[in-house]
Copies of this chain bind each other. A is one copy, B any other.
Amino acid sequence: MTKHDLSLLSAAQSAEAIRAGHLSSEALVESHLDRIEKTDSSIRAWAHLDADAAIDQAREMDRVRKAGRATGALHGVPVGLKDIVDTKDMPTRRGTPIFEGRQPEADARLVEHLREAGAVIVGKTKTTEFAFMHPTDTTNPTDVTRTPGGSSSGSAAAVAARHVPLAIGSQTGGSVIRPASFCGVYGFKPTRGTVSRSGVFRTSVSLDHVGSFANTLEDVALLSDVISGYDQNDPASFARPRAQMLAGAQSDVPVSPDIAWLDFPFHDRLDSDTTEGLNAVIEGLDGRVERFEASPQLSDLINVHKTIYDYEIRQNMAEIAGAHWSDLSDEMQSAITRAENISPTQYDDALGVMASAQGFFAEYFNDFDAIMAPSATGEAPLLSAGHTGDSVFCLPWTLAGLPCLTLPLLVGQNDLPIGVQLIGGAEEDDRLFRTASWVQRALSAENTEGNQHVT
């Protein structure tokens, strides 16, 4: 295997090879660093990169293995972190000049889990301002004239460019699923409360989720397992066992799964090639997908999401906005300003609808293994559009706190990737991965019979 090839390995493959002594973490990390050096001038995925520190961590993990000590699930595997995730040994700038040079004193809880798993923290990936809307200068590795999506722009781009096999992102609206779809990688946001948000910049206590990016279904499950854990300091965290996502991805379905599709009014925002591709996916699944018309109440979840997000981001930004108003983007200033018109009663009502949406979907998953939905409007928009794309297709599911997974199954009219989203029941993330694995196999069998849209 040449040095260059190492950056094409999956995290699961690399960790296994490192544990077995067939590969050194140092060689793996060097290969990724080489790739970053060669391509990041055009992709600009990294807010902070510490090559020397990464090599040091890699050597340490190699030493641990050679000493016969315990190896971890991500032993010696490089990982990138969205730049809203605190690290005690690297600055965390949250995508804003306001926090230029900010050095946290502690690691986020999820970073503790990564270190315990033997992961090598390579650096921080670019995020939109405060993981909200104002874009970074990161480009899409599949076409550098296009956006990688947001807010986890750098994480999606870094994984797509094979700068790292794994990266951490976050999603409050659609900030994992959409960039993964645009960049042609797997993106996953687990059930609310599965992963701790302690040490991750808070925009919305109700809606913020940590998520993961990878180039294979197994890898995105593996990373999600590693960062999962109960944390009493996160109000969403639950004191119960976590679903085993990798085990889910590796298991067979007991019977062919049942999948629901909901037609929402906002589906008119889909590009025509996306509609066509999604229809081909549904057809390819041989009658396992049942289509429904979404009720008006379901469509209204979009507005409920907006009410909660605006209200909470205004609360969370209050101190920063007071001190640094002129350093905030227009997008952020507008959100904070329009939130002034949301009354506490409107906010409480929105939280009430959110709770009932959770109850509604819980019953849904008695009959269905997953809901299928678009991940985004279609191919990534051009950078010149000045935004990171439309998150509408993610909002109902993020609001309900359900596990969401995007699979890079389609290619659009410009040969650019388009994801297909699967949504699972709360705390049934393992079942969602099991269903997704079946979907991939079913379509892959179909594809060998000549389907054009399903790659």
A interface list, Cβ under 8 A from B: 60, 64, 68-72, 75, 88, 106-107, 112-113, 115-118, 229-233, 239-244, 427-428, 430-431
Establish whether residues A428 and B116, one from each chain, have CB atoms under 8 Å apart when the complex forms: no
A60: chain B residues within 8 A (beta carbon) = 240
Residue of B nearest to A230 (CB): B116
Establish whether residues B112 and A241, one from each chain, have CB atoms under 8 Å apart when the complex forms: no
CA distance in complex: A71, B243 (Å): 8
CA distance in complex: A117, B239 (Å): 9
A118: chain B residues within 8 A (beta carbon) = 240-241
A69: chain B residues within 8 A (beta carbon) = 240-241, 243, 427-428
Return the 7 tightest CB-CB contacts between A and B, nearest first.
A72-B241, A116-B230, A115-B239, A70-B243, A70-B241, A69-B427, A118-B241
**A425 CB to nearest chain B CB (Å):** 9
Establish whether residues B116 and A232, one from each chain, have CB atoms under 8 Å apart when the complex forms: no
A230: chain B residues within 8 A (beta carbon) = 112-113, 115-116
Establish whether residues A232 and B70, one from each chain, have CB atoms under 8 Å apart when the complex forms: no
A427: chain B residues within 8 A (beta carbon) = 69-70
Dominant secondary structure of chain A at its interface with chain B: loop
CA distance in complex: A229, B266 (Å): 45
Query: Which listed residue, B68, B116, B242, touches A239 by the CB 8 Å rule?
Result: B116
Q: List 28 A-B contacts (CB under 8 A).
A: A60-B240, A64-B240, A68-B428, A68-B431, A69-B241, A69-B427, A69-B428, A70-B243, A70-B427, A70-B430, A71-B241, A72-B240, A75-B241, A88-B232, A106-B232, A107-B232, A112-B229, A112-B231, A113-B230, A115-B239, A115-B240, A116-B230, A116-B239, A116-B240, A116-B241, A116-B242, A117-B241, A118-B241
Residue of B nearest to A116 (CB): B230
**A432 CB to nearest chain B CB (Å):** 12
A70: chain B residues within 8 A (beta carbon) = 240-244, 427, 430
CA distance in complex: A292, B153 (Å): 62
CA distance in complex: A64, B431 (Å): 15
**A95 CB to nearest chain B CB (Å):** 24
Establish whether residues A112 and B232, one from each chain, have CB atoms under 8 Å apart when the complex forms: yes
Q: Besides A70-B240, A88-B232, A106-B233, 8 other CB < 8 A contacts?
A: A64-B240, A70-B243, A72-B240, A107-B232, A112-B232, A115-B239, A116-B229, A117-B241
Residue of B nearest to A247 (CB): B70
CA distance in complex: A52, B175 (Å): 43
**A370 CB to nearest chain B CB (Å):** 14
A233: chain B residues within 8 A (beta carbon) = 106
CA distance in complex: A118, B242 (Å): 10
**A25 CB to nearest chain B CB (Å):** 12
CA distance in complex: A112, B239 (Å): 7
A88: chain B residues within 8 A (beta carbon) = 232
**A417 CB to nearest chain B CB (Å):** 31
CA distance in complex: A233, B427 (Å): 29
CA distance in complex: A71, B112 (Å): 23
**A412 CB to nearest chain B CB (Å):** 36
**A238 CB to nearest chain B CB (Å):** 9
CA distance in complex: A326, B72 (Å): 49
A68: chain B residues within 8 A (beta carbon) = 428, 431
A72: chain B residues within 8 A (beta carbon) = 240-241
Residue of B nearest to A196 (CB): B112
Residue of B nearest to A107 (CB): B232
**A59 CB to nearest chain B CB (Å):** 13
CA distance in complex: A233, B244 (Å): 27
Residue of B nearest to A111 (CB): B232
CA distance in complex: A81, B115 (Å): 27
A117: chain B residues within 8 A (beta carbon) = 241
A428: chain B residues within 8 A (beta carbon) = 68-69
CA distance in complex: A68, B72 (Å): 28
CA distance in complex: A72, B116 (Å): 19
A431: chain B residues within 8 A (beta carbon) = 68
Residue of B nearest to A231 (CB): B112
CA distance in complex: A430, B69 (Å): 9
CA distance in complex: A116, B232 (Å): 11
Residue of A72, A239, A430 with most partner-chain B CB within 10 A? A239
